[in-house]
Amino acid sequence: MIRIQRMNTTERLATLNRIRKLSRLMDTAIRIPVIGYRIGLDPIIGLIPGGGDLIATAFSAYLIFLATRFGLPRRVLGWMIFNVGLEAIVGSVPLVGDLFDAFYKSNLRNLALLEKHLQQTEPDLTEDDPLDLASARVGVDTDIAVVPSGVAS
């Protein structure tokens, strides 16, 4: 278990909401007209030759850093690193990797892992969170659906 940085409930919710906002910015910020599919800045940044994937991976690593403040077990942290690593490796393949980035959405997957961990370990935080620690849900096939902010599930 990673050492927990002491934060009060307000700080914990603020950090969680920062992770939520940044994860959505990277993975679902832009709705593609007509088809309605959402992509984020991650696949767009990945199009920058030479460093786009590195920038996107560094941003995802920052989100993992923020998540470690919640004292994640090594198993959950390992899955988060795997998600980002897979997206970084496959994402480095020109064009095909950018398409993978648009569909895999590692940051939302990591948000779902964090929220699941918090639901199990911090039920008191669930009561204080207007989204009941369920802003991201992982389906059976690991697709992630995002509940619009302000809507409780």
pLDDT value at position 148? 38
- Across 20-29, 40-49, 125-134, which has the greatest mean pLDDT? 20-29
Contact, 37 vs 145, CB < 8 A? no
Q: Check residue 34 and give its pLDDT.
A: 92
Average pLDDT over residues 120-141: 64
Q: Percentage of residues in the chain with pLDDT exceeding 90?
A: 53
- Contacts of residue 23, defined as CB under 8 A and 6 or more positions apart, other chains included, come to 63, 107, 108, 110, 111, 136
pTM: 0.80
Place 5 in a pLDDT band, splitting at 50, 70 and 90. Answer: low
Q: Please give the pLDDT value at position 12.
A: 87
Residue-level pLDDT at 151: 40
d(CA 51, CA 46): 8
pLDDT reading at 152 higher than 80:
no
Mean pLDDT estimate for the chain: 82
* Residue 123 or residue 38, greater confidence: 38
pLDDT over 90 at 40, yes or no: yes
Q: What does residue 30 show for φ and ψ, rounded to 5 degrees?
A: -115, 125
